C-alpha cells in the first residue's frame, strides 16, 4: 500500500522530483513476462465478456459446428446432412441445381403431390399465431405421442393460438395398408396428421419440407408464423412465442433459427454429407437456418412453393430453403438472442432449458422427462 501511495498514487505533489523523473523513465513492464501475463488477462476478459454477452460469438465462425462435430461428436448430435446416404445420392445426380429456363415443375415442387389427409378445417375454425409443423416418419408414433404430451400439448401459449401438426409421406413396405389404417385412426383421435402421397424416405426430405410449405400456403394462409421443427427436438414453446411477440420481429420475409454461413458443400466421397458437383456445382451453400428447427413468417411458404418450380432439388432440405431465400433475394435473419437456438446437448440442466428455445434430444422419453422436470413448480435457476 505504501508503495502505491508514494509511487503511482494520485498525489504527485508529495513526490520527490528525482523520484518522479526516475519513475517516468522506468519501463512500463519490468519484463516481457509481465507484459505477456497482462496481455493474456486482457484477451481472457475480452473473450469472456463477448461469450457471455449475447450469442456465442464463435458461432459466427461458419466452420465451428463442423469442426466440433467432427473432432468430438456429441452423443445425440447429428447434422441434417448426415441423413444423406452416399449411394443414394449417386442415383439422382443428373441435372444442374437450377433448371434451364423453360424447365419447370421439379421434383420438390410440392404440387406434384397430393394430400391424403390434410385436416383442412383446423385453420378455418381458428387463426393461429404460430403453426408448428413436424416432419416425422409414419411409424414413429412414440415421437408424436411424446410431442402431444409436451410442447405440442397447449393450444394457447402466452395468450396466442398455437397449432401442432405432423407431416408424413407414404410408408412403403408390405404392411403399408395396415399402417395406413392405423394412421387414419390416429388422425381421427387427434386431428393432427397431414399426409401426402410421396414416398417417405430420407432422400425425400426436401419434398416433405416443400409439402409442409404447400399446406401452410393453401390450408393455413391466415397464420402469422410457422416453424418447421424435427420430431426429436426439445422446444421451449413459451420462449419461442415470447420471442415472436417482441416488437421488432418482422411480419414478412422473416426466416430465423440457427444460422449457417458459408457452409462448404462436402465433396469428399467418403463423407456422409457428400454432394456431387453435378447435383450442386457451387462450392458453398447459401446462408441457411439449420433444419432442426427454423421459424418463418407465414407469407414465405407461398413464395417458396413458387420458386421451387424452377430449382433442381437437392436432398439437404435446410440448405434448399436457403437456396429458395437466395433466389427470392432474401436472407435469413439472426434471432434476437441467437444462443437460444441450440443443437446438440450434453446433459439436461433445468436452468438452461428454461432459457433456450431448441435443443436436439436423443429419444421421446428424454423429451418427456426433461419437459416434466422443467414444468415442476419452483425457480428454475
Ligand atoms: C421420392 O418420392 C417420389 C414420389 O413418391 C418417389 O418416386 C421417389 O422414388 C422417392 N425418392 C426416394 C429417393 O425415395
Q: What confidence tens digit (pLDDT) does each residue in 95-146 have?
A: 444 544 545 567 889 988 999 999 999 999 999 999 999 999 999 999 999 9
Q: What is the CATH number of domain 110-257+290-314+335-374?
A: 3.90.550
CB–CB of 135/230 below 8 Å? yes
CA distance 181 to 156: 31
CA distance 89 to 317: 14
Q: Is the pLDDT higher at 303 or at 34?
A: 303
Checking if the pLDDT of 345 tops 60, the result is: yes
Q: Which three cell numbers stand for residue 279?
A: 447435383
Could you read off the pLDDT of 232-284 as tens digits, one per residue? Answer: 999 999 999 999 999 999 999 999 999 999 999 988 888 777 788 888 999 99
CA distance 6 to 16: 9
CB–CB of 310/106 below 8 Å? yes
Q: Atom 11 (ligand 1): residue with closest C-alpha?
A: 204
Assess whether the C-beta atom of 23 lies below 6 angstroms from ligand 1. no
How many Å lie between the centroid of ligand 1 and the Cα of residue 198? 6
Assess whether the C-beta atom of 109 lies below 6 angstroms from ligand 1. no
| DSSP H helices in the chain | 2-6, 17-25, 32-53, 64-71, 86-91, 122-125, 141-149, 176-190, 205-219, 237-245, 300-307, 317-327, 350-353, 364-375
CA distance 132 to 262: 28
Most confident of 11-15, 140-144, 308-312: 140-144
Assess whether the C-beta atom of 256 lies below 6 angstroms from ligand 1. no
CA distance 290 to 281: 21
Checking if the pLDDT of 320 tops 70, the result is: yes
Assess whether the C-beta atom of 203 lies below 6 angstroms from ligand 1. yes
* Atom of ligand 1 at shortest range from CA of 88: 13
pLDDT of residue 10: 34
How many Å lie between the centroid of ligand 1 and the Cα of residue 341? 31
Checking if the pLDDT of 177 tops 70, the result is: yes
pLDDT of residue 104: 56
Checking if the pLDDT of 339 tops 90, the result is: yes
Q: Please tell me the pTM assigned to this model.
A: 0.75
Q: Which residues, including other chains, have CB under 8 Å from residue 15's CB and lie 6 or more apart?
A: 6, 7, 23
Helices 176-190 and 141-149 cross at an angle (nearest 10°) of 10
CA distance 69 to 65: 6
CA distance 173 to 39: 64
Average pLDDT over residues 62-67: 34
CB–CB of 83/202 below 8 Å? yes
CA distance 324 to 379: 43
How many Å lie between the centroid of ligand 1 and the Cα of residue 344? 30
Q: Is 43 helix (H, G, I), strand (E, B) or coil?
A: helix
pLDDT of residue 47: 54
CB–CB of 189/141 below 8 Å? no
Classify residue 200 by its DSSP letter: -
- Residue 66 burial by Cβ neighbours in a 10 Å radius (0-12, 13-18, 19+): middle
Q: Which residues, including other chains, have CB under 8 Å from residue 309's CB and lie 6 or more apart?
A: 104, 105, 106, 109
Domains of the chain by residue range? 110-257+290-314+335-374
* Atom of ligand 1 at shortest range from CA of 170: 5
* Atom of ligand 1 at shortest range from CA of 169: 5
Amino acid at each position: 500500500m505504501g508503495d502505491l501511495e508514494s509511487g503511482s498514487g494520485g498525489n504527485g505533489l508529495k513526490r520527490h522530483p528525482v523520484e518522479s523523473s526516475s519513475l517516468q523513465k522506468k519501463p512500463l513492464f519490468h519484463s516481457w513476462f509481465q507484459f505477456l501475463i497482462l496481455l493474456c488477462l486482457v484477451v481472457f476478459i475480452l473473450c469472456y465478456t463477448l461469450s457471455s454477452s449475447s450469442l456465442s460469438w464463435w458461432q459466427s465462425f461458419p466452420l465451428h459446428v463442423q469442426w466440433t462435430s467432427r473432432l468430438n461428436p456429441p452423443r445425440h448430435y447429428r447434422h441434417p446432412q448426415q441423413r444423406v446416404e452416399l449411394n443414394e445420392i449417386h442415383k439422382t445426380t443428373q441435372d444442374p441445381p437450377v433448371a434451364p429456363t423453360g424447365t419447370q415443375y421439379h421434383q420438390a415442387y410440392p404440387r406434384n403431390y397430393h394430400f391424403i389427409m390434410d385436416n383442412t378445417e383446423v385453420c378455418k375454425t381458428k387463426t393461429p399465431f404460430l403453426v408448428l409443423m413436424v416432419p416425422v416418419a409414419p411409424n414413429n408414433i412414440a415421437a408424436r405421442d411424446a410431442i402431444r404430451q409436451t410442447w405440442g400439448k397447449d393450444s394457447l401459449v402466452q395468450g396466442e393460438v398455437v397449432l401442432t401438426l405432423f407431416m408424413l409421406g407414404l410408408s412403403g413396405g408390405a404392411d403399408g395398408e395396415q399402417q395406413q389404417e392405423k394412421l387414419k385412426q390416429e388422425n381421427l383421435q387427434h386431428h393432427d396428421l397431414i399426409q401426402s402421397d410421396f414416398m417417405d424416405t430420407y432422400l425425400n426430405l426436401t419434398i416433405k419440407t416443400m409439402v409442409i410449405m404447400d399446406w401452410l400456403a393453401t390450408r393455413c394462409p391466415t397464420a402469422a408464423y410457422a416453424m418447421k421443427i424435427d420430431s426429436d427436438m426439445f422446444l421451449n414453446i413459451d420462449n419461442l412465442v415470447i420471442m415472436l411477440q417482441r416488437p421488432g420481429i418482422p411480419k414478412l420475409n422473416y426466416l430465423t433459427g440457427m444460422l449457417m454461413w458459408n457452409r462448404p458443400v462436402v465433396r469428399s466421397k467418403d463423407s456422409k454429407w457428400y454432394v456431387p458437383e453435378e447435383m450442386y456445382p457451387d462450392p458453398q451453400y447459401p446462408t441457411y437456418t439449420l433444419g432442426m428447427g427454423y421459424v418463418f413468417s407465414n407469407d414465405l411458404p407461398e413464395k417458396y412453393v413458387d420458386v421451387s418450380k424452377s430449382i433442381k432439388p437437392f436432398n439437404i432440405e435446410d440448405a434448399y430453403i436457403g437456396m429458395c431465400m437466395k433466389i427470392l433475394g432474401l436472407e435469413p435473419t439472426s434471432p434476437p438472442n441467437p444462443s437460444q437456438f441450440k443443437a446438440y446437448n450434453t446433459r439436461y440442466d433445468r436452468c438452461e432449458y428454461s432459457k433456450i428455445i431448441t435443443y436436439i434430444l436423443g429419444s421421446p422419453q428424454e423429451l418427456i422427462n426433461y419437459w416434466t422436470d422443467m414444468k415442476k413448480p419452483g425457480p428454475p435457476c
